[in-house]
Amino acid sequence: MKPVAVDTNVLARLATGDDAREHRAVVEALATRPWRVFLTVILETEWMLRSRYGYAPRQFADFVEWMNGSGRIHLEQARTACKAVAYHRAGMDFADALHNIAQADGEPFLTLDKALRRKADKLNLSALPPG
């Protein structure tokens, strides 16, 4: 069966189960049809789970790794998503990790964000000040 693309609110309901009726509907939908999750939906889901539900990086990383290993959920650009999740688990903001990973080999990543540069240095990633 062809996968169906899912929205952030579906993933949030799956992760949190905060509405029992909707959670049941989401679980049933996953059981009947495989899902495809866009990288942008993963990014938005991290923001939602962190800002609205207080998810820690470890919790979000566990959720993404579970999705990736579920056999029912296909993550768009799964290697990129999982690499960003690993950097997020190690302390980097998830969006910043995605930005840094997206750069081409050897291409500098310029930022004015000093905290991002410090975290990138610790992870042997490239984040440079302009100029």
Asked if pLDDT for residue 105 goes beyond 90, the answer is no
CB 90 within 8 A of CB 123: yes
Measured between alpha carbons, how far is residue 9 from residues 4, 15, 22, 53, 85 in Å?
Answer: 14, 10, 10, 13, 20
Q: Once rounded to an integer, what is the mean pLDDT over residues 46-61?
A: 97
Q: pLDDT tens, 11-20?
A: 999 999 999 9
pLDDT at 99: 87
